[in-house]
Structure 1
Amino acid sequence: MFILLPVNPGEPRFRDLRPRQHPTVYREIAVTLAVVLLTTAFVTVVALLAAAGAGKLARMDHASYPTALTRAAATFAAVITLAAVVTGTLTALLT
């Protein structure tokens, strides 16, 4: 006994849903953009907090204000650089 099935058995039922599936592409782009912006803001806040902590620790170590500011700037740059390296590595691995 042969049973003949169509090539795509679910196609006749879901044919009307196809036009509604295209806007999800724009929604995915919007979600991706939101995640990128929120991650950037989070990394910036963490870098600023690390820089403030480094500056405060330098001042507690009796460093002058220019030295404390230099240490804070170096810490900020190090955190941003580390985030960029991690992002680049993850992008290379996941793409």
Structure 2
Amino acid sequence: MENIKDILMKRGYPEKQAITVAIDLLDIDDQLQNALHCWLETENETDFQVEGFKLSELKHKFDMTYPAALLTMDWLIKEPKFAIRSINRGIK
């Protein structure tokens, strides 16, 4: 977790937010692990689709960081009914 927090802080996250996001990223679904590790190591952003939503479109539409979009995709995988309803209402 400390490593993820440090990377997030180097990329502009305030410390408290970096800690919270790092904790959430540690529990990310297996389907998203490769995309997360790629971004952590190289800052390359992998795009993919879950439940009809593309990561890149969520990121752009809601002005999300890549980690925030990954966590939204994780939510779509784990709780699709709630996540879809919230996204369609315009989450931020």
Q: TM-score, normalised by structure 2?
A: 0.26
Higher Cα Rg, which structure? 1
Q: Which structure dedicates a bigger proportion of its chain to strand?
A: 2
Q: Which structure dedicates a bigger proportion of its chain to helix?
A: 1
Q: TM-score, normalised by structure 1?
A: 0.26
